[in-house]
Amino acid sequence: MVPLNWYIELSAIIFTIGAVGFLIRRNIMIMLISIELMLNSVNISLVAFSHYLQDIRGQVLVLFIITVAASEAAIGLAIVVAMFKNKAVLHTDEIMEMKG
Amino acid sequence: MLPKLYFGYFSIVMVVISLLIITRKNPVHSILWMLALFFHIAGLYLFLNAEFLAAVQLILYAGAILVLFLFVIMMLNLKEEVLDDRFSGDWPIAVFVGGTILVLILIALIALTQGPLGSYTIQAIQAETHAKVLGRVLYTEYLFPFEIASLILLIAVVGAMVLAKKRRTEED
């Protein structure tokens, strides 16, 4: 039997990789992919808890997270398309409308 | 022993694929590695007796969301993007912040104690099939969040159309 801790550690490592990827990359597509990576790592830990605590609610929560991830990807990609049409850039360093 | 080997293979491959995803220069390569990662996650779900979620993972993530990403990349011009510097200037700070998050989670994990066990044992789920159990909980106990999820999807559909629609200019 694989201990529950291993799943949580795997989930934490993948979450960290996603967070670092979101912070270090300049390409907005890869930033969106990193967000998906973080959501998936949370799903892994939820399914693992659901299996080890013998409770189905964690898996219901995973279904909701997948729903939110789908809508987030749709909205995010629409923003990328609108931004590319206006400015023709994909790099976050070159987007300075808000003087950030 | 065999379950641990299975888990070890999956965890090592998933960590390596995740590192590949965030370091590839071309976003198309990242997305194709993401596809491999989703297959591995689905395998892990099967290992955790969540066969319905494994199917949903493949159909929804690999089949819908990744294809959406690929379509958008197809619409954008990537020729000069690929030539640019791929990492932002202050990446050491980002790696430090990420490492701190990881260490904090791992320290907090020491205090993890399992809560009380629920009533959905593997035998109970197998007697009634996984999809049926999941559906019953989803449509009774979680009916209101389910309706809110449908509202979120509606907002996503309308919002995506509004955002990506062609702006009407002054002359038309």
**Given an 8 Å threshold on Cβ–Cβ distance, is A47 in contact with B101?**
no
| Cβ–Cβ below 8 Å for B156 and A26 | no
| A36 has pLDDT over 70 | yes
Indicate the CATH number of A4-87 among 1.10.287.3510, 1.10.3720.10, 2.70.70.10, 3.90.930.12.
Answer: 1.10.287.3510
Confidence of residue A11 (pLDDT cuts 50, 70, 90): very high
| CA B163 to each of CA A75, A94, B42: distance values in angstroms, whole numbers, following the listed order | 8, 20, 32
- Closest by CA to A49, choosing from B93, B48, B85, B86, is B48
Cβ atoms < 10 Å from Cβ of A79: 16
Are A16 and B101 a contacting pair, CB within 8 Å? yes
Distance from CA of A100 to the nearest CA of B (A): 15
Give chain B's radius of gyration (CA, Å).
21
Q: Does A32 touch chain B (CB under 8 A)?
A: yes
Tens of pLDDT, residue by residue over B82-117, are: 666 677 778 889 899 999 999 999 999 888 888 888
pLDDT score of B114: 82
A77 touches chain B (CB under 8 A): yes
Q: Which residue in A61, A77, A79 has the most chain B C-beta atoms within 10 A of its own C-beta, making it the best mutation to test that interface?
A: A77
User: Which is higher by pLDDT, A100 or A20?
Assistant: A20
Instruction: Confirm or reject contact between B59 and chain A (CB < 8 A).
Output: no
A38 within 8 A of A18, measured Cβ to Cβ: yes
SS (H, E, C) A53-79: CCCCHHHHHHHHHHHHHHHHHHHHHHH
CB atoms within 10 A of CB A30: 24
Residue B16: pLDDT band with limits 50, 70, 90:
very high
Q: Is B169 in the A-facing interface, judged by CB distances under 8 Å?
A: no
Among A34-38, A63-67, B168-172, whose mean pLDDT is lowest? B168-172
Res. A5: pLDDT tops 60? yes
What pLDDT score does B35 carry? 94
CB contact under 8 A, B68 and A54: no
> Considering only CB atoms, which chain A residues are within 8 Å of B138?
60, 63
Return d(Cα A39, Cα B162) in angstroms, integer.
25
Radius of gyration of chain A (CA): 17
Q: Class of B1-86 per CATH? A: mainly alpha
Alpha-carbon separation of residue B6 from A2, A14, A76, B1, B11 (angstroms): 10, 18, 35, 9, 9
pTM above 0.95, yes or no: no
More confidently predicted of B95 and A27: B95
Q: Which residue has the higher pLDDT, B16 or B167?
A: B16
Distance CA B123, CA B44 (A): 19
Do B5 and A7 touch, CB atoms closer than 8 A?
A: no
* Per-residue tokens: B101: 């998050």
Average pLDDT over residues A78-92: 79
pLDDT of amino acid B82: 63
- Using the predicted structure, report yes or no on whether residue A93 has a pLDDT greater than 90: no
* Interval B35-69: pLDDT, tens: 999 999 999 999 998 899 999 999 998 899 999 99
Inspect the interface and report whether the beta carbons of B102 and A12 lie closer than 8 Å.
Answer: yes
- How far, in Å, are A89, B29, B39, B40, B67 from residue B34 at the CA level? 23, 8, 9, 10, 11
Does residue A96 sit at the B interface (CB-CB below 8 Å)?
no
**Residue B142, both tokens:** 């979680």
**What average pLDDT does the segment A76-83 reach?**
87
Over the stretch B121-164, which tens digit does the pLDDT of each residue have? 888 888 888 889 999 999 999 999 999 999 999 999 999 888 87
| In chain A, domain spans | 4-87
Shortest Cα distance from A93 to chain B (angstroms)? 8
ipTM for the predicted complex comes to: 0.89
Q: Which two tokens stand for residue B22?
A: 């965030």
Cα angle B6, B11, B15 (rounded to 5 degrees) comes to 155
Of A8, A9, A53, the CB nearest to B118: A53
Q: Residue A99 — pLDDT band, cuts 50, 70, 90?
A: low
pLDDT at B26: 86
